[in-house]
């Protein structure tokens, strides 16, 4: 399968929600923040591809936004785009005026999107990782979304790895409906072994460890240094 044979210049999450970002980061694949890192929506992979292809047109317009409440323990607000279905839980700070939160959020997404667009126009090899928490896609729908993304950024070599949840599956099964497009099906939300945010991390990581990326060791080293700094800081605070 090409996804496990190629060596990538970058690996980016393509939704849904936080699970792919956590796994990508913890395995050292995350070199930079992406526009889909901590937000998402339920539904088709085509919605994520559509935002990239359409340059985030119509994304989180003020008139479509609704506050769903506060996020316990985080000091942030939960907002939803009622027209397109996107949700954010970490970007709007409690006590900050809406307009300030709104402008900061859009500036953040725009910076991350422009960085990603620059990469996709640079002729690099990029792997997107999409995680569907519930159910299965039609392989034709996955291939159609991927062809649309490749057509929008023809300069780069773009591949896709999709995690799909198959309840009570004994292991992971693989399907490659098109070269560079792999669907991995397994119990990635096994109720006995999952984290509500990260999913079944151990199973997901067993798949992602088969991926190769240039410079990954630098990200792993940075994570190790950050972990050491946090431990030293905690010891200092304890006196």
Q: What is the pLDDT of residues 63-100, one digit of tens each?
A: 999 999 999 888 999 999 999 889 998 899 999 999 99
Q: Which of 232, 236, 218 is nearest to 9 (CA)?
A: 218
To which residue do tokens 């991390």 refer? 201
Mean pLDDT, rounded, of the chain: 88
pLDDT (tens digit, 9 = 90+) per residue, 165-212? 888 888 899 999 999 999 999 988 765 665 555 667 888 889 999 999
In whole angstroms, what is the distance from residue 33 CA to residue 37 CA?
7
Residue 121 pLDDT greater than 60, yes or no:
yes
Residue 193, pLDDT score? 60
Q: Determine the pLDDT at residue 201.
A: 80
pLDDT at residue 219 above 60? yes
> Structure pTM?
0.88
Cis peptide before 16 (omega within 30 of 0): yes
Strand partners, 163: 131, 184
Mean pLDDT, residues 115-122 taken together: 94
* pLDDT score at 224: 79
Provide the 3-class DSSP secondary structure of residue 224.
helix
Residues 6+ away with beta carbon under 8 Å from 100: none
For residues 129 and 170, which has the higher predicted lDDT (pLDDT)? 129
How high is the pLDDT of residue 197? Answer: 56
Identify the residue with better confidence: 119 or 41: 119
């Amino acid at each position: 399968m090409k996804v496990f044979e190629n060596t990538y210049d970058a690996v980016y999450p393509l939704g849904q929600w936080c699970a792919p970002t956590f796994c990508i980061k913890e395995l050292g694949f995350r070199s930079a923040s992406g526009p889909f890192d901590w937000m998402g929506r339920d539904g088709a992979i085509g919605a994520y591809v559509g935002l990239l292809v359409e340059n985030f047109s119509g994304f989180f317009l003020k008139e479509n936004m609704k506050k769903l409440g506060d996020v316990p323990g985080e000091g942030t607000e939960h907002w939803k785009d009622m027209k397109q279905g996107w949700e954010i839980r970490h970007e709007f700070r409690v006590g900050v005026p809406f307009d300030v939160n709104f402008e900061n959020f859009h500036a953040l997404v725009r910076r991350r999107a422009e960085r990603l667009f620059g990469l996709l126009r640079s002729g690099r090899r990029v792997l997107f990782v999409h995680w569907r928490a519930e159910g299965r896609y039609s392989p034709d729908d996955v291939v159609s979304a991927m062809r649309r993304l490749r057509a929008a950024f023809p300069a780069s070599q773009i591949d896709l790895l999709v995690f799909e949840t198959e309840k009570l599956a004994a292991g992971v099964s693989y399907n490659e409906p098109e070269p560079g497009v792999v669907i991995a099906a397994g119990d990635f939300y096994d109720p006995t072994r999952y984290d509500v945010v990260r999913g079944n991390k151990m199973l997901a990581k067993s798949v992602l460890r088969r991926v190769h990326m240039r410079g990954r060791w630098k990200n792993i080293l940075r994570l190790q240094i950050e972990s050491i700094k946090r431990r030293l800081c905690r010891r200092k605070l304890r006196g």
